[in-house]
Amino acid sequence: MRLTFKSVGSEWYKHRLTFAAAMILLAFMILFGRLFYLQVVEGEEFRRLSQNNCIRLRGISPARGIISDCNGTILVDNRPSFNLSIIPRDAKPKAETLERLLQYVHIPEETIAAVIDGKNGTAAYNPVLLKKDMNRDELAAVEVHKFDLPGIVVDIQPKRHYISRHAAHLIGYLGEISPDELKSGKFPDSRSGDYVGKYGVEKAAEKYLKGKAGGKQVEVNATGQVVRTLLTVDPVSGDNVWLTIDIELQKKAEALMDGLVGALVAVRPDSGEILAMVSSPSFDQNGFVDGMSHGEWRDLVSNPFYPLQNKAVSGEYPPASTYKIVTAMAGLEEGVIDAHTTFFCPGYYQFGDRIFRCWRKGGHGTVNVQKALAVSCDVFFYQTGQRLGVDRLARYAEACGLGQPTGVALSHESSGLIPTSAWKKKRFGVSWQKGETLSIAIGQGYNLATPLQMAVLTAAVANGGTLYRPQIIRKRENALGEIVYECEKEVVRRLPVGSKTLEIIKKGLWDVVNSPRGTARLARIDGIDISGKTGTAQVFSRKNEDTSWKEITLDHLKPHAWFIAYGVRHLDQIAVSVIVEHGEHGSSTAAPIAREVIRAYFNQPSKAISSSLGR
Amino acid sequence: MMVDRRLIQHFDWGLLFLTLTICAIGLLALHSAVSADLDGAGRSFFFKQMIWYGAGFVAIGVVIVVDYRNIDRWSYIIYGGVIVMLIGVLVFGKIAGGSRRWLVLGPVTIQPSELAKLAVMIILARYFSRRVKPQGFSLWELAYPSMFVLLPFFLIVNQPDLGTGLTIILISGSMALFVKIERRTFIFLGMLGSIIMPIVWFFLKEYQQQRILTFLNPNRDPLGAGYHIIQSKIAIGSGMMLGKGFLKGTQNTLSFLPEQHTDFIFSVMAEEWGFIGASLTIFIFLAVIILGLNIAYRCKDPFGTILSFGVVALIFWQTFINLGMVMGLLPVVGMPLPLISYGGSSVLTIMICIGILMNVGMRQFPSD
């Protein structure tokens, strides 16, 4: 193909080139025009902005959501903290300014030295923190002498304020975000130096409580003072969280547990909402916000009773006689016993060549399942357990929610332990001995449960057989007051039990409190229907089962005291589980505590009866 | 010997002079832009750019020697080579700044997407020059060359490099419009374009969408991309008439400007040299373009004419988009200012373009 004109002449091209040239000229006219506008028309304004004044970006921290109890009583809010910073580039002359500053505010030497040594470069425009949380005198002095202190900036940061010192474990606390957390990608909007929830609801609802940071473009003058704000992006406050707990009930429960080591959980059987959660001993969350001395921190972590641990969800204890509910359930449903089956308890039971004792030396005589629950006869349950075998017991225990986390929205929840023969083989390499089943049947041995698990189980028995997921957050409102979340009861599963069996068990539990030989007569309240079960968890295993129930004088060897209960008045119910470490007897130590909590619950004038959720 | 003298006679000295001037301006601007951190990184940019200028002039020398009509013969080879390089980038390219655009060949790092602009331009010039007619091209006739455009376009947009991809589309579109499109095809494509725009919107990455939205309203994002546009305008505007003086630009030295040695280098110049210096620079670019158009005007064969026009289109679009962007008229896209922004592959590409213009201009003898 020849590179010559075929169908168009050179004039045609020239024509089009001329048109193209005109378009290009037009485009350049636009560019010149714009340049003229920026440099000549608005030049003065831009010059002013660039030379004498500078534009800076300042972040605005969002207000963290407020935490209240179920009735709206505020438990945690924010207070302003005044932080002092220096912008090295603006603080000329640096050394003199710092000296003047030290007249008004105390600042540690190392901080001052670091600023003086600091490099002068582009980073010199970023503020360097000198002191956090100035007190009022310091703040007043700095503000008054502002003009003598170029480059010194006071900035308000919201700080967490734990008003009520109660429910510390449930509410949790904040801490500075760690490098690992930043890297993990779970905190996309956070930067180094931000405070994030580290424990409890503060952590569980971090995403919602945090809100969204805003910022502003400010114009600052030669000394770094903000002259005017150019543009603002408002921060979005975090959602406010309403917990399910009732603060009055919580206070009462904590007062009852004061001085003791242990936990208490109160829950609504019809919905799974937690009304109170206590772990004793507790701690002051404000220490995490205001800063603790080295000594204070050391005391907290080396305290042998572990105040930082939430025993309600992390503490694992042998359920002891409270477990007999499971054994009874399993025995009746599997048909190895029925309502009329009786065993004779002489105070001991011989299995193979070993003697298993009942807690009552003289024995209970002939008992059926209902009576056995009421008086907590070990022998009855040894025999029932033996007929069931450990694996069947384990199946029922797990169906009752034991041996697995309840799924409550708190971190560090323990699963407890429900042994099976396979488990033992895997763990110890040794087969299961039939005799061990007997200990399991009365809740000793390898069995472990948390107070929360027992409370949820008690609630399920109370409500007729439904295990609900424990709820800790009742609702969330955004900054505008709109409800963005309301909790709904969530069924985890139904208890592995028919209504007839449940009736029998409930009768037995009622007898525990109300019949003459019941082990928890101390828990009675006039006018309120209370049923429950005591438990005494051994702390160490006896060398031989022959040792009788001697008085143990060493406190740390005394057994733990359990009591689980539910109270009913008219249509309203509450379920409670209490454990007192080394409390010795469930009946005398734990039961009265549960009783008072139940009494307080029903006597409350402002109790919201209508707040059963999502029928 | 006779041919040599005629070549020298018709050599476009004006274009050479303008090119040297731009390079000089470029070095001054770059020196100022990197003066803020003259520790290591800054220095190396300056010297590297000088070396690229040198290589560019060598390239011009090479390009001039061979008659441009031979480029027509090698157009497919050039195109194929560039496509291979683009695929190479996707497979084992170097990643920097969130995208994969470079090929490392020993001590040299090149950006094939820059060369792709040349390759597409040459292929289109070849195709169009053989089939020009007065009524213009129909849709069908445009479909075939479109494939040559779309292949590198998609390879480049996947790097991701939307800016360069856009440039290729603009150059191709300009060349097609230049050789005329049938009226009804033109209308049809116009309508197609307006339907495709919203679809393209969905394919854009989040940050690219943000850029366009921020451009339409910089106040929308005063803390992010809007901040950079505002800073650039301040830098330019604060130059006023006479500028703040060489190396005295405060916006520049305080590092308010991002990418000040590449995309935003004009802002540095405008701050320091004022309206006088900045408009002079823009004028020099305009002059280069006019000279290029003049070469196309004088050219007697379709291939040369269309090829020169393509070069002019490339230089025009890059200049217009970069200047428009830093002055706040267009959204922020990665677009180097020809010969002044730092970047070896870009410098080389523009120099080759200049070389092509000179090549065409030199060989328009009255006797042919």
Domain assignment of residue B330, yes or no:
yes
CA B182 to chain centre: 28
Q: CA of B356, closest CA in chain A: separation in Å?
A: 17
* Full domain range(s) for residue B118: 2-362
ipTM attached to this prediction:
0.90
Predicted pLDDT of residue B252: 56
pLDDT at A367 over 80: yes
Domains, in order of start, for chain A: 57-243 (3.90.1310.10), 247-300+311-603 (3.40.710.10)
Q: What is the mean pLDDT of the segment spanning A469-479? A: 94
Q: How many domains, chain B?
A: 1
Q: How far apart are CA A443 and CA A462, in angstroms?
A: 21
Question: Over pLDDT 90: what percentage of chain B?
Answer: 34
- CB proximity B222 to A under 8 Å: yes
d(CA A521, CA A90): 76
Report yes or no: B278 and B270 within 8 Å, Cβ to Cβ.
yes
Please indicate whether, in this complex, the C-beta atoms of A38 and B289 are within 8 angstroms of each other: no
Say if residue B169's pLDDT is above 70: yes
Does B239 contact A6 at a Cβ distance shorter than 8 Å? no
- Residue A387 burial class via C-beta count within 10 angstroms: exposed 0-12, middle 13-18, buried 19 and up: middle
Q: B128 lies in a domain?
A: yes
| Domain annotation covers residue B246 | yes
Mutate to test the interface with A, among B131, B132, B171, B234 (most CBs of A within 10 A): B234
Answer whether B309 sits within 8 Å of A8, measured CB to CB: no
Token pair 């206590």: residue: A278
Q: Are strands A240-243 and A74-86 parallel, antiparallel or unpaired?
A: unpaired
pTM: 0.62
pLDDT tier, A547 (very low <50, low <70, confident <90, very high otherwise): very low
How much is the pLDDT for B249?
64
pLDDT tens for each residue of A519-537: 999 888 888 999 999 999 8
The mean pLDDT of chain B is: 84
Chain A contact for B108, CB < 8 A? no
Q: Which of A17, A46, A233 sits opposite B234 (nearest CB)?
A: A46
Q: Give the tens place of pLDDT for each residue, A187-230.
A: 777 777 788 899 999 999 999 999 888 888 887 765 566 777 87
Binary contact (B233, A43; C-beta < 8 A): no
Across the interface, of A5, A55, A125, the residue whose CB is closest to B302 is A5
Q: Is the N-terminal amide bond of B218 cis, ω within 30° of 0?
A: no
Torsions phi, psi of A475, nearest 5?
Answer: -160, 165
Residues 132-191 of B with CB under 8 A from A: 132-134, 174, 178, 180
**Residue A557 pLDDT more than 50?**
yes
Residues of A whose CB is below 8 A from B318: none
Nearest to A199 by CA among A307, A351, A338: A307
Summarised one tens digit per residue, pLDDT across range B60-93 is 999 888 888 888 888 889 899 999 989 888 888 8
pLDDT at A100: 84
pLDDT at A123: 54
A26 in contact with chain B, both atoms CB, cutoff 8 A? no
Whether residue B168 lies inside any domain: the answer is: yes
- Tens of pLDDT, residue by residue over A402-436, are 999 999 999 899 999 999 999 999 999 999 998 89
More confident of the two residues B259 and A313:
A313
Please check whether residue A5 touches B, CB under 8 A: yes
CA A381 and chain centroid, separation: 37
Supply the mean pLDDT for chain A. Answer: 86
Give the CA radius of gyration of chain A. Answer: 35
Judged on CB neighbours under 10 Å (0-12, 13-18, 19+), A228 is: exposed
Strand partners, A532: A565
pLDDT digits (tens, 9 = 90+) for A17-71: 999 999 999 999 999 999 999 999 988 888 887 765 567 777 788 889 999 999 9
DSSP reduced 3-state for A598: helix
Which residues in chain A touch residue B327, judged by CB atoms under 8 angstroms apart? 31, 34-35, 38
Dihedral-angle region of residue A403 (phi above 0 means left; psi in -120 to 50 means alpha; beta otherwise): left
Please give the average per-residue pLDDT across B194-214, as a whole number. Answer: 76
B143 Cβ contact partners less than 8 Å away, ≥ 6 residues apart? none
Give A61→chain B minimum CA distance, Å.
14
Percentage with pLDDT > 90 across chain A: 55
Paired tokens of A427: 């763990």
% chain B with pLDDT above 70? 87
Percent over 70 (pLDDT), chain A: 90
Q: Compute the nearest-CA separation of A124 from chain B (Å).
A: 10
CB contact under 8 A, A8 and B133: yes
Contacts of B279 in chain A (CB under 8 A): 32, 35-36
Residues 6+ apart with CB under 8 A from A229: A216, A217, A218, A219
SS3 A495: coil
User: Residue range B44-57: average pLDDT?
Assistant: 89
B273 has a chain A CB within 8 A of its CB: no
- Using one digit for the tens of pLDDT, what is the confidence trace for B96-133? 766 788 888 777 788 888 899 999 999 999 999 888 88
Does pLDDT of B38 surpass 80?
A: no
Closest residue of chain B to A19, computed from CA coordinates: B178
Which residue on chain B is closest to A36 by alpha carbon? Answer: B275
Q: Does the beta-carbon distance from B271 to A12 stay under 8 Å? A: no
Assess A57–B contact: CB distance below 8 Å, yes or no. yes
Tell how strand A67-68 and strand A240-243 pair up.
parallel
Is any Cβ of chain A less than 8 angstroms from the Cβ of B278?
yes
| Pick from A12, A27, A44: CB nearest B134 | A12
CA distance B127 to B303: 9
**Residue B368 placed within a domain:** no
Residues of A that are catalytic: 321
Among chain B residues, the shortest Cα distance to A57 is held by: B223
Tell me whether residues A5 and B296 touch, CB distance under 8 A: no
CB A449 within 8 A of CB A349: no
Domain assignment present for B367? no
Q: Which residue in A25, A35, A89, A218 has the most chain B C-beta atoms within 10 A of its own C-beta, making it the best mutation to test that interface?
A: A35
The residue among A4, A7, A24 with the most chain B CBs within 10 A of its CB, best to mutate, is: A24
Angle at B7 between CA B4 and CA B8, to 5 degrees: 90
Q: Could you say which of B234, B275, B293 has the minimum Cβ distance to residue A21?
A: B293
pLDDT band for position A385 (cuts 50, 70, 90): very high
Q: Computed over its alpha carbons, how large is the radius of gyration of chain B?
A: 21
Query: pLDDT (tens digit, 9 = 90+) per residue, A254-303?
Result: 999 999 999 999 999 999 999 999 999 999 988 888 778 888 889 888 88
Q: Mean per-residue pLDDT for A353-374?
A: 91
- Asked whether residue B180 carries a pLDDT value surpassing 90, the answer given is no
What is the reported pLDDT for A545?
38
Instruction: Tell me, yes or no, if A125 comes closer than 8 A to chain B by beta carbon.
Output: yes
Q: Which two tokens stand for residue A72?
A: 């709206």
- Inter-chain CB proximity A31 and B316 less than 8 Å: no
Is the CB of B282 inside 8 Å of chain A's CB atoms? yes
Of A9-13, A55-59, A103-107, B136-140, the least confident: A55-59
* Interface contact B212, partner A, CB < 8 A: no
